[in-house]
A = this chain, B = another copy of it.
Amino acid sequence: MPEKTRATVRGPYRTGIRRREQLVAAAIEVFAEHGYAGGSLRAIAEHAGVSHASLIQHFGSKEGLLTAVLEEWDRRTVQDGLADISGLDYFRRLPEVMAAHQDNRGLLELFTTIAAEASSPLHPAHGFIVRRYATNLATLADHLRQARAAGDIAAMSDAQIDIEVRLVTAALDGIGLQWLLDPSTDVAASVSTYVERAIASWVSGRGDDRR
């Protein structure tokens, strides 16, 4: 990616980059309201005041536009709010991070849908989603290993750590989906119950998670 975006760009790139951001913003709005399949390029183009052919020109395909939107989602959520937090505190912050998603129902809906659709190896975003989950799980595992090294939790094998971070991720994904299906779902309380119980188990090193 050549977009180093120095403070002062002389030539034609500036408008191209800003245009791109506008298009992604329009895509987010439309996808968030109508989903990926339901949000047509023509609708997004109309929203942004361009032709749908122009969207293809910028992003190569609808998939390319989708990927750009997902990267924007990543930038907005994962990076924000959880920087400078590490070890067990990272897990303790998860309930409020999830709760914050409730302000952005459309984006959660979009990401949940894409993650599931992309489970098919044939889906255009399959590689992106697989990579994203791998990165996410690795980050969680790092924090858990850090807690282990610091002596905050009892001994735990790397295989156990893998299972633990997968279960945390599953809880977040699953509760998110249930909230989408039934907004009366108490997201923060559910996630909090899970995280607190998991941490308690890690600290005491009880047998129910040793195999």
How far does the Cβ of A196 sit from chain B's closest Cβ, in whole Å? Answer: 5
B190 touches A167 (CB 8 A): yes
Chain B residues with CB below 8 A from A201, complex form: 197
Residues of A99-139 whose CB lies within 8 A of B: 109, 112-113, 115-120, 122-123, 129-130, 133-134
How far does the Cβ of A168 sit from chain B's closest Cβ, in whole Å? Answer: 9
Tallying the copies of this chain within the complex gives: 2
Chain B residues with CB below 8 A from A130, complex form: 181-182
A205: CB under 8 A from chain B?
A: no
Q: With A163-B193, A190-B163, A196-B209 as known contacts, state yes or no: A119 contacts B38, CB within 8 Å.
A: no
A181 touches B119 (CB 8 A): yes
A173: CB under 8 A from chain B?
A: yes
A18: CB under 8 A from chain B?
A: no
How far does the Cβ of A108 sit from chain B's closest Cβ, in whole Å? Answer: 9
A53: CB under 8 A from chain B?
A: no
A208: CB under 8 A from chain B?
A: yes
Chain B residues with CB below 8 A from A35, complex form: 117, 120, 122-123
Residues of A150-189 whose CB lies within 8 A of B: 162-164, 166-167, 169-175, 177-178, 180-182, 185-186, 189
Instruction: Other than A119-B181, A197-B201, give 6 A-B pairs with Cβ distance below 8 A.
Output: A113-B120, A164-B193, A167-B175, A174-B174, A197-B197, A197-B209
